[in-house]
Amino acid sequence: MKSKYSLFVILPLILSTLLFTQQAEVTNVVAAQRTDGSGIVDISFDLTEDALFTIFNIYVEVSFDAGNTFTPAQQISGDIASVEYGSNHSIEWNLRSEFGAIFNDDTIVRVFATGNVIINVNELNTEFVPVPAGEFTFGEGDTLLSIDYDFEIMKYEVTNAQYVEFLVEALETEYVWFEGNDFTQVLGYYSGNEYVQSGIYHFFRVRYEISWNGTTFIVEEGFGNHPIREVSFFGAVAFAEYYGLSLPTEQEWEKAARGDTGWDYPWGNSIDGSQANYISSGDPWDYDPIDHGTTPIGFYNGQNFDGFQTVDSPSVFGAYDMAGNLGEYTENWVDEHTLVTRGGSFAEHPDSLRSWYLHIINGGGEPIVGFRCIKRL
């Protein structure tokens, strides 16, 4: 993501039009605070054509201390997501509602344009399994629902190696960035949904199997094929969109997990430690359940690993680890604070791994949550 911005100062109760400096993609920025007492600021701007990027996300940050610290503006609407280059774009910003009438000579606002690069999905080294349109059982009561389109879902959860490859490329193009000098916190822009406003969000926490050596991201030896964790919902969406993919809805996820079988688990109605990674399941990584609680992707495929015999345990459509290892994000939010994950994790009891079991968490990133992506056909 390429990030350029314009700076401007908002003075107390400005009623006239303001002109701002031009930088890179953001040009001809004009803002005016309405005179009706609402405190709303109307911003217009142009985006110049870029050799690498054709669509942009727009966001705003404000400083009340002469630029020492900046805070993302959340209450913005208009031309802020997937904006093409051109003129006469507009944003409506409810400054008074969000920050109050506290503007002074030290108030500075930054307007950013971040260019999105969509990578051909074939460049992501992974496998997908097909899920045909049709009926499936949903929820504890096995309600019969239907999806009227085919889709493909990743055969395995996104791995440490895959996410690090994404981070390296994304950092180079400023699709993501560090939080100041804190090299453990990776940030980025999210375009918003019906519950969450657009803005800058935490994407990833650098810990466990992933580290930063001052130059690039490093995966701990032997853990490249373990699923990535400590990724927030927003960081998972960023990965998916970078490769032209999506997170599944909980309906798509459950259909991919058990189809119309009505089974409790992707393979049937019972579970033991040879089929999935859950708390005290006895897998070879159970010795260190905090720092290294995950098993490699696809581990439960019938292999014998140093005397530990697994049972081949894919879903009805051939996807692995849809029960246990890590819980998985879906697109479904419950409210502005919580969302739905499915599948259960290495830190949970077997009952929590049932395909219909609903997990409600915040989207900020957890050591027991990962994700996989889908392609809607």
* Window from 24-38, 61-75, 210-224, 304-318 with minimum mean pLDDT: 24-38
Choose the weakest-confidence range: 22-26, 67-71, 95-99, 265-269: 22-26
Domains (range + CATH), the chain: 2-116 (2.60.40), 128-376 (3.90.1580.10)
Q: Residue 51 has what pLDDT?
A: 52
pLDDT exceeds 60 at position 15: no
Pairing of strands 369-370, 327-333: parallel
Residue % of the chain over a pLDDT of 90: 58
* 11: helix, strand or coil: coil
What pLDDT is recorded for position 21?
24
pLDDT band for position 327 (50/70/90)? very high
The pLDDT value given to residue 19: 29
* pLDDT for the residue numbered 95: 84
Say which residue, 338 or 15, is predicted with more confidence.
338
SS3 172: helix
**C-alpha of 260 from chain center:** 29
* Contacts (Cβ under 8 Å, ≥6 apart) of 257: 266, 315, 316, 319, 322, 323, 342, 343, 355
Read off the pLDDT of residues 50-101 as tens digits, 9 standing for 90 and up.
Answer: 655 667 778 777 788 888 888 888 888 888 877 888 888 999 988 888 887 6
- Give residue 336's pLDDT band: very low, low, confident or very high (50, 70, 90): very high
Render pLDDT for 169-199 as a digit per residue (tens, 0 to 9).
Answer: 999 888 899 988 899 999 998 988 999 988 8
pLDDT value of residue 120: 57
Structure tokens belonging to residue 34 = 């309405």
The dihedrals phi and psi of 253, each to the nearest 5 degrees, come to -60, -50
pLDDT of residue 16: 29
Is 96 or 153 the better-scoring residue by pLDDT? 153
The token duo for 247 is 């997170």
- pLDDT for position 287: 66
In whole numbers, what is the pLDDT of the chain averaged over residues? 86
Task: Write the pLDDT tens digit of every residue in 217-263.
Answer: 999 999 999 999 999 999 999 999 999 999 999 999 999 999 999 99
CA distance 244 to 230: 22
Q: Is the pLDDT of residue 3 over 50?
A: no
Q: What pLDDT, on the 0 to 100 scale, is given for residue 172?
A: 87
Flag whether pLDDT at 164 surpasses 50: yes
Top pLDDT among 29 and 78 is at 78
Please choose, from the candidates 118, 100, 210, the residue with its C-alpha nearest in 3D space to the C-alpha of residue 170: 118
pLDDT of residue 4: 42
The closest of 129, 280, 170, 157 to 227, measured between CA atoms, is 157
Determine the pLDDT at residue 26.
Answer: 79
Tens of pLDDT, residue by residue over 107-151, are 777 777 776 555 555 567 899 999 999 999 999 999 999 999 999
The two tokens of residue 23 are 């930088």
Query: Is residue 1 scored above 50 in pLDDT?
Result: no
pLDDT at 274 over 90: yes
